[in-house]
Structure 1
Amino acid sequence: MSGTLALSALAVPAAHAGDEPVAPKASAAVADVSEAVGAQRAAAGDIKVTDVTVNGGKDVTLGTTAKKKFKLSITATDPSGIKLSSGFLFLGDDSDAPTGLITPATEAEYNPTCVELDDTTKTCTVNVTADPARLRNVGAGVRWNVFAAVTNKSEEQVTMDDLKSDIRIKRASRLTVNASPEPVKKGKTITVSGALTRANWDTKKYAGYTKQSVQLQFKKKGASSYSTVKTVKSDSKGNLKTTVKASVDGTFRYVFAGTSTTPAVTSAGDAVDVR
């Protein structure tokens, strides 16, 4: 079920903003009809979304298979009070024809948990699930739109699809390191290799992240922190390779600072024994 259809299935008797109300009795004056229509439109028009928060404001990272559930919270206000709000995330200019969707996993999950802030304002939260099977690389690092359906206590509803999320969806990254030979004589050359890869949502596999700057760091045995030795560029397959002179026992690691589409990642450490 698409997000829009699922929202329309909410068990809430509501009319979209601008819908005509049920026609009054035939004996009513034309002026009364116009007044009734205008009153409903005005009431629905008073509904305002004041805040949208996705995953507590933290970016969401996904690999190639595992789904990830997180929260979408919508704060709305209306003079008559808010009954509930629900929604989902989408990519594209039109929520009815999205290029990407992140929605509640089941129809029941469209029903929110709401907290009343005061007589007019309420924050409602739904769980949405990002599924790599429904994602493409174009959705990484960009701002997703939020569709919201908000119903006030007078049972009027408005829908909005021009809201913006405050986080990015990122492609999971991996980083490895291997320092050799082990053990090594003091003054000899140590080769430190590794690989930087990230999730490819188009192929559903991990692939090399090419031409990226990665720091090689070293921590002397007994020390509490690492220091940067040099910066290495990943090659056309995401591989890393550089050399250093053996001096003292310690541990090497690679550190990638991340980009707008891919999160930062640090490899495990690889200890070397210098003799």
Structure 2
Amino acid sequence: MRRHATVAAFSAVLAVAALAAPAAGAAQDDSGTRFWNIDVNHDRDYTVGVEAALKRTFSVSATVTDPSGVRSVSYELRHDDGAKVRGLMVGSSHCVRLNDTTSFCEALVTADPSVNLRSNALAGLWVITPVAVDGDGNVTRGDGAYFARIKRTTYISQTIATPQQVQKGKNVTVKAQMTVASWENRKNVPLIGHQVALQYRKGTSGPFTTLKKLNTDRNGWVSATVKATADGTYRYDFAGTSLTVATPGSADFVDVK
């Protein structure tokens, strides 16, 4: 059977369950199974954030077409360094027949720091290979450029802006601490040396404006001093990285006299 590759970004499938293997001696043909409308976690960026010690279950789905119909679809997920596979997970879908040649196949899969994400080094891009068995028992592997972004979740503590009441033109100090999920330690740890944006919003509604950018210290804390101009709220915002999830912090209101 021809190996068909669909050139579309494909995202994350994590599962503890073993992949349902194709039948022994399954024939190969030239039918050309195709994978369409792939969706993972309903996330446009193909991202799944995983906490330090909690399982994360999410969906992955695709529309699959083959001239002889679709019997089953599985998804293989691997993380490697170019020479060696560091992580390997698989998940099997439940398929709903749409017509004689097409099925909608969806899987609920689980990421678990205690089972398949025990190392922080596993954060980042994972390669996905969908595997379909058609109505005749033939197997197609989608060997295209399918990628998932499995990231560690991040957190910003309650923003502390002091003083809460200040005269116009006087200084306001804004502090917060950033932490990140450690799959190895099974707890959140300080996020060190990462850039965050100090943002301000006049009053209590409307968009935030970035005032300055600065890096967290060795304990994950960030602190900045700004001039008070009008009543408003301050917060820190983290844009995320290829390994960590973006997150905005909570805002703190300052009354300017």
Band of TM-score, shorter chain: 0.7 to 0.9
Describe the superposition over 1:145-196 as per-residue Cα deviations: whole angstroms up to 9, x where unpaired. Answer: 3352x22222x24263845544311110111321112223333322111112
Q: Which residue of the other structure, out of 41, 51, 59, is the alignment partner of 2:47? A: 59
Aligned position for 2:20: 7
Whether the 8 Å CA contact 2:53–2:183 is kept in 1: the answer is: no
SS at match of 1:90: strand
User: Does the residue aligned with 1:15 lie in a helix, a strand or coil?
Assistant: coil
TM-score if structure 2 supplies the norm length? 0.77
1:272 equivalent in structure 2: 254
Residues 215-256 of structure 1 show CA distances to partners (whole Å, capped at 9, x for unaligned) of 111122255332222112212332101111233222111111
SS of structure 2 residue aligned to 1:80: coil
- Aligned counterparts of 1:62 and 1:199: Cα–Cα separation in 2: 8
1:48 pairs, out of 33, 41, 46, with 33
| Partner residue of 1:82 out of 70, 82, 89 | 70
Partner of 1:140: 123
Provide the TM-score with structure 1 as the length reference. Answer: 0.73
**Which has the larger Rg?**
1
Q: For residues 28 and 211 of structure 2, what CA distance do their matches in structure 1 show?
A: 65
For CA contacts below 8 A with separation 6 or more, give which structure has more relative contact order: 2
1:88 positional shift: 4.0
Which of 91, 99, 121 pairs up with 2:86?
99
Aligned 8 A contact 1:67 1:131 in 2: yes
1:267 is displaced (CA, Å) by 0.7
Contact 2:52–2:183, Cα closer than 8 Å, also in 1:
yes
Tell me if the contact between 1:179 and 1:271 (Cα under 8 Å) persists in the aligned partners. yes
SS of the aligned residue for 1:99 comes to strand
- CA drift at 1:262: 1.4
* Deviation string, structure 1 residues 8-43 (Cα, Å, up to 9, x no partner): 3xxx8x3344xxxxxxxxxxxxxxxxxxxxxx443x
Q: Which moved more, 1:159-168 or 1:62-71?
A: 159-168
Cα separation, partners in 2 of 1:228 and 1:74, compared to 1, 3 Å: closer
**C-alpha contact 1:102 1:131 (8 A) present in aligned 2:** no
> Identity, % of aligned pairs?
34
SS at match of 2:124: coil
**Mapped contact 2:33–2:140 kept (Cα < 8 A):** no
RMSD: 2.9
Q: Distance in 2 between matches of 1:202 and 1:147?
A: 29
Q: Is the 8 A contact 1:47 1:152 kept in 2?
A: no
Aligned counterpart, 2:105: 124
For residues 121 and 93 of structure 1, the distance between their equivalents in structure 2, rounded to whole angstroms, comes to: 35
Gaps of 5+ in 1: 18-39, 105-109
Q: CA deviation at 1:7?
A: 1.3
Bigger CA drift: 192-201 or 219-228? 219-228
1:80 Cα deviation from its structure 2 partner: 2.0
Distance in 2 between residues matched to 1:125 and 1:165, nearest whole Å: 16
Aligned residue pair count? 236
Q: Tell me which protein shows more helix as a share of its residues.
A: 1
- 2:134 maps to 1:169: no
Please state if 1:211 is matched with 2:197: no
Instruction: Tell me which of 171, 184, 188 is aligned to 2:170.
Output: 188
Q: Distance in 2 between matches of 1:88 and 1:15?
A: 18
Contact 2:75 2:128 in 1 (8 A): no
Q: Could you tell me how far apart the structure 2 residues matched to 1:241 and 1:3 are?
A: 42
Please point out which of 216, 222, 236 is paired with 1:240: 222
